[in-house]
Amino acid sequence: MPSWSGEEGRRLLIRGGHIVSMDPAVGDFAGGDILISGKRIEAVGMNLQADDTTVVNATGMVVIPGFVDTHHHQFETALRGFLADCILVNDGQPHSFYNYYEHMLQKFSMVYRPHDVYINELFGSLSQLDAGVTTVMDVSQIHHSPEHSDAVVEALRQAGRRAVFGYFEGWGDQSKYPDDARRLKREHFSSDDQLLTMVMGGEIYIPGYETSWALGRELDVPVALHVVGTFGMRETFDELATSGLFGPDNIFIHMTGMSDLAWKAAADAGAHVSLSVPIEMTMRHGMPPIQKALDLGMQPSLSTDVECTMTADPFTQMRSAMTLQRAFINEEALGGRTDCSAMVTSRDVLRFATLEGAKGLKLDAKTGSLTPGKEADIVLLDANAINVAPLNHATGAVVTLMERSNVDTVLVAGKIRKWRGELLGVDLPKLRAELEASRDHLFEASGVDRDVFRN
């Protein structure tokens, strides 16, 4: 394994893989090659020749761009699975004892210390890197102090993957949200030539959200927000739509329960939509509006949302989006309708999980496709594994057959971060022990009972 990968002036040749570039101008190649120079892709094609290269054998692999997750609350990693049966908010209808808003945001999140933030963010980042997610927008609603914010940034940096720092809200007397955005941008995100960038959180259920939107636009960073009908946002969202405040810098997460007026305004403004299909279905956000976005010409991205309720692996997201959209179309066809919308394909949802995510985060000049000149965020997926072989359809295999165990090798900006199934430079036992200690603190300090066998 070349330890120098990603260094300026060094070249790496990925040889003989089934390349799905996600760039129509580049195309796909059965048994093709990718030449990497430093952190960038130099060439993609057949039988590439170059001097002074180290060859990575990709025979039997499907080679794709790194996955892009456009919405993940990584600070909740220590609470994985605890709210598996929950819904978003207590709405008076039948649900489990726990709900996300009361227990996650109003109990657990209040007792996070900066170190809890750091270890949760780092472990969650590395876990997704292991699953082939090379880019994330981290929605860290944990900015209780500048120290909490800096802990998020440091964890994202230490993880060594491409990350968008989502500066969302915090609580308490020490919280400097949203005004600390200026310091954060100046100290951590002043350069465009780094793996980390920034998004401003502009939740419309928080009083004074207009200030956050204005700050994001002052700092020239995208403005992202959750848009969920069950949270009573529809009227406010309609007001924003009719006021002409939507723009191409907006990232709207979920978009469940919104009016046709708001949808049209979002589409006309060139805003982006991030869908968390499994979470939206299980947590009572409302039906994932996949078809609504597609009908308006909006290409959505996919996002994992909260691991306290559902896994953050990209394969679950892709399969959920594909099967749900097709289920609706199939039901219409079986009911006799003859003018059904087109069903999404495996290539479509792989594009949602890669290129469309990069576009939504304004990172498509750097990542999202295997295009010469872009940075080399690349995933090698094992198609010889027992759950996939024999390979008959490259994108179909990725979307309908594979799982995180098929993620063989991962590169971020040309640097190998996972090699032949193993993350590099990571002391997982040590980090796991720190995460478990954080979990124990969070339960004790919040007063929530940790019964692993509760109904």
* 455 has pLDDT over 80: no
Q: 390 preceded by cis ω (within 30°)? A: yes
Torsion of CA 250, 254, 260, 263, to 10 degrees: 20
* 230 has pLDDT over 80: no
- Distance (Å, rounded) from C-alpha 122 to C-alpha 421? 19
What pLDDT, on the 0 to 100 scale, is given for residue 229?
86
What pLDDT, on the 0 to 100 scale, is given for residue 1?
67
* Local confidence band at 138 (pLDDT 50, 70, 90 cut-offs): very high
Residue 25 class from Cβ within 10 Å (0-12 exposed, 13-18 middle, 19+ buried)? exposed
Percent of the chain topping pLDDT 70: 100
Tokens of 309: 């309720």
**Model's pTM, two decimal places?**
0.97
**Domains in the chain: ranges and CATH:** 11-66+369-423 (2.30.40.10), 67-360 (3.20.20.140)
- Distance (Å, rounded) from C-alpha 129 to C-alpha 113? 24
* 264 has pLDDT over 80: yes
Sign of CA dihedral 175, 179, 185, 186: negative
Q: What share of the chain is helix, strand, coil (3-state, %, to 5)?
A: 35, 25, 40
Q: Alpha carbon 437 to chain centroid distance?
A: 26
Residues 342, 344, 349: CA angle, nearest 5 degrees: 160
Which whole number is the average pLDDT over 234-259?
97
Tokens of 92: 């008076």
- Distance (Å, rounded) from C-alpha 293 to C-alpha 329? 15
What pLDDT, on the 0 to 100 scale, is given for residue 16?
98
What pLDDT, on the 0 to 100 scale, is given for residue 2?
75
**Tens of pLDDT, residues 415-444:** 999 999 999 999 999 999 999 999 999 999
What pLDDT, on the 0 to 100 scale, is given for residue 123?
98
Tell me if residue 186 falls in helix, strand or coil.
Answer: helix
Whether the CB-CB separation of 396 and 31 falls below 8 Å is answered with: no
Count of positions (residues) in the chain = 455
What pLDDT, on the 0 to 100 scale, is given for residue 113?
98
* Local confidence band at 231 (pLDDT 50, 70, 90 cut-offs): confident
* 392 has pLDDT over 70: yes
The mean predicted confidence, pLDDT, of the chain is: 96
What pLDDT, on the 0 to 100 scale, is given for residue 235?
94
* 34 has pLDDT over 90: yes
Residues 340, 399, 79: CA angle, nearest 5 degrees: 110
Question: DSSP per residue over 246-293, as a string?
Answer: --TTEEEEEEET--HHHHHHHHHHT-EEEE-HHHHHHTTS-S--HHHH
Q: HSE of 111 in the Cβ direction (CA atoms, 13 Å)? A: 17
**Tens of pLDDT, residues 298-355:** 999 999 999 999 999 999 999 999 999 999 999 999 999 999 999 999 999 999 999 9
Q: DSSP class of residue 375?
A: B
Which whole number is the average pLDDT over 182-188?
98
